[in-house]
Amino acid sequence: MHVQSEEIIIQGSPGSPGISFGPVHVMARGFSAPDVYEINEDQIAREQNRFEQALEITKGQLDQLRTHIENLSGEEEGKIFDAHLMVLEDKTLLRRVSNAISERRQNAEYAFYAVMQTFLEAMRRVNDSYLRERAADIDDVCQRVLRNFQLDTDAPAADRPDHQHILVAYDLSPSDTASIDRNHVLGFATEQGSVNSHTAILARSLGIPAIVGLEGAVIDIKTLSDGILDGYNGTLILNPTAETVKTYQEKLNRKKLALKELDILREEETTTSDGHRITLSANIEFTNELPMVKQSGAEGVGLFRTEFYLLDGGEMPDEFQQEKVYSEVAKAVAPHLSIIRTLDAGGDKIPAEPLSHPEPNPFLGWRGIRVSLTRKALFKEQLRAVLRASTSGKLGVMFPMISGISEVLAAKELLKESMDELDKAGVPFDPNIEVGVMIEIPSAAMMANEIAKEVDFLSIGTNDLIQYTVAVDRVNHYVSHLYKPTHPAVFRLMDITVRAAKDNGIWTGVCGEMAGQLAITPLLVGLGIDELSVGAHMVPSIKKAVRSLSQSECSEMMKEVLKARTSPEIAALSENMARRYYPELIE
Ligand code: PEP
Ligand code: MG
């Protein structure tokens, strides 16, 4: 007999818009603590085999990484991986895992995880700082092996549900998100993460409905409960009644209809009601988003996040492979401008290379231009690739995580060297390629007047500008209530930036998530921003919002905004204006 369980509503934060209906599958805490289940005698050989396969895949990856690092930084640096490889060849450890499979009848990933955790705990307790630090390396290898179990196609069905489902997980890294199998995963919810994490940004780009910050989800939710995931308002409903299903189906239909209605604006310009023209472009992470960009009516790509090449321990493609990708973008978007942002590895994203010690504060660490300026060969390969592709359409190049003028000068110097090298080799390129920097660190905003004299445009990365201005980690959901896009300090810094650009005759864009938030559009129009770059799915509604607003009224409102003392005051000013001019777009 089937007993209908009670309907349960769990509230998280909206991560990516959309509604999905289906059974829920819960994945154990991150990838670090795999599910444990007992195996039968006739499954022992299969599990031993799975273990060996995961080890082999990992060794192959580490070998590749070692060669890559040796080429970049020399043999000494490459040796870091010898220690990693040695762990995978340690006979005692391997025997213990094998025994746990055959004698304790544990599934392979759990057997491996349990043995490694015991070993790591012992190392961490030793009173020797060198050994304690090595524990971090071993932890890293352990994670890698566990991930490689996920790749193994023989994994039991419980681990790889082959039915369509809503995925619930403790956390998903940006690379987990990018490799989600769209045929099976209808939407996902995570306990960790916040709206501005790269995981949520990717989910929006890929059009996967998502919820973040759903506390207690992994423990509280049972696999195979029926669910509805509402990515618009961050609600997960378990065991929905027929009436709830109907309500959400109607909501989904309304949303689809509204999008269809906006489609008539596709060919229209993004101009305010009093004639102020704004360029509306799209952010992309992968070239397979290009058809969506075209379909959306965007007038360019304002941000191509190239670091997503590094997914799954991958390497940056070589100069010619990169040239191919950038040419594809340039051609698809021509005659409009496509801005290729140089590698912004680090932070919550993929590291440029495995580090011998984990960074205590990755967001304040080896990230963005800091990596490029210490790995000059890698940086110049990327710059030459952009230059080579610049004859295929209209390309710009942009540097992330700039904190001051010296980094701008150093990056430009390397761009000049790259141009000279191509010149010498007789390779054509656009010598007037637009060069810009991201303003996403308060120090760069304060120095915008000096920086503006060195570049062709400034693009404000509000995701990071907010995090660094108010000192709130953008992915940490414990402090997400303090991550305030409308904080007065953020708007004062943005105002300094826009004025510096105007004084120096260059343009300013906004490519952070703020550019796609309809309740904030009046503030960006009021600041006098020239370009907004948003996820392709937001292009039609932002276009409609800008066309409904009057630039002079918004800039009048900015006088109030710049005098405001609190974030709610600014949010209210903007939201009132938004509700007055486009209430149908604001929920
Ligand atoms: C930003 O910081 O606003 C930005 C656009 O860059 P990313 O989100 O990739 O850090
Ligand atoms: Mg950024």
pLDDT digit string (tens) for 260-299?
A: 888 888 889 999 999 999 999 999 998 888 999 999 999 9
Q: What are phi and psi of 152, to 5 degrees?
A: -75, 125
- Which residues, 6+ apart, have CB-to-CB distance to 250 below 8 Å? none
Of 25, 198, 336, 537, which is the active-site residue?
198
pLDDT digit string (tens) for 145-170?
A: 888 886 554 444 444 566 899 999 88
Residues near ligand 1 with C-beta < 6 Å?
303, 305, 344, 440, 461-464, 511-512
State the Cα–Cα distance between residues 391 and 147, nearest whole angstrom: 40
- Which residues, 6+ apart, have CB-to-CB distance to 268 below 8 Å? 297, 543, 547
State the Cα–Cα distance between residues 138 and 123, nearest whole angstrom: 10
- Coil, helix or strand for 211? strand
Amino acid at 487: H
Which residue do the tokens 């304790």 mark?
104
For residues 49 and 199, the model is more confident at 49
Given a cut of 60, whether residue 116 has pLDDT beyond it is yes
State the Cα–Cα distance between residues 295 and 28, nearest whole angstrom: 38
State the Cα–Cα distance between residues 32 and 116, nearest whole angstrom: 11
The preferred substitution site among 199, 464, 517 for testing ligand 1, maximizing ligand atoms within 8 Å of CB, is 464
State the Cα–Cα distance between residues 38 and 116, nearest whole angstrom: 19
Given a cut of 50, whether residue 418 has pLDDT beyond it is yes
Contact 564, 488 (CB under 8 A): yes
Q: What are phi and psi of 337, to 5 degrees?
A: -85, 140
Going from the Cα of 490 to the center of ligand 2, the distance in angstroms, rounded, reads 14
Res 153: pLDDT: 46
Burial 225-258 (b: 16+ CB within 10 A, else e): bbbbbbbbebbbbbbbeeeeeeebeeebeeeeee
* 539-515-340 Cα angle (round to 5): 80
Residue 347 DSSP class? T
481 is catalytic: no
Residue 440 marked in a binding site: yes
pTM of the model: 0.75
Contact 273, 548 (CB under 8 A): yes
Res 553: pLDDT: 98
Res 1: pLDDT: 37
Q: Which domains are present in the chain?
A: 8-32+160-257 (3.50.30.10), 41-149 (1.10.274.10), 268-511 (3.20.20.60)
Given a cut of 50, whether residue 30 has pLDDT beyond it is no
142 is catalytic: no
Contact 504, 449 (CB under 8 A): yes
- Coil, helix or strand for 312? helix
- Burial classification of residue 128, based on how many CB atoms lie within 10 Å of its CB (0-12 exposed, 13-18 middle, 19 or more buried): exposed
Q: Ligand 2 (ion): which residues have CB within 5 A?
A: 440, 461, 464
Going from the Cα of 190 to the center of ligand 2, the distance in angstroms, rounded, reads 22
Peptide bond into 335 cis (omega under 30): yes
User: Could you tell me which of 284, 145, 321 has the C-alpha nearest to residue 206?
Assistant: 284
Contact 17, 250 (CB under 8 A): no
Mean pLDDT of the chain: 88
Residue 464 marked in a binding site: yes
User: Structure tokens of 472?
Assistant: 């709130």
State the Cα–Cα distance between residues 249 and 21, nearest whole angstrom: 9
> What does the pLDDT average to over 536-559?
96
Residue 134 marked in a binding site: no
pLDDT digit string (tens) for 227-250?
A: 999 999 999 999 999 999 999 999
- Measured from the alpha carbon of residue 510, the closest ligand is 1
- Which residues, 6+ apart, have CB-to-CB distance to 537 below 8 Å? 17, 204, 207, 292, 296
Res 367: pLDDT: 94
20: enclosing H helix or E strand:
strand 19-26
303 CA: nearest ligand 1 atom = 5
For residues 132 and 517, the model is more confident at 517
Res 3: pLDDT: 47
Contact 191, 213 (CB under 8 A): yes
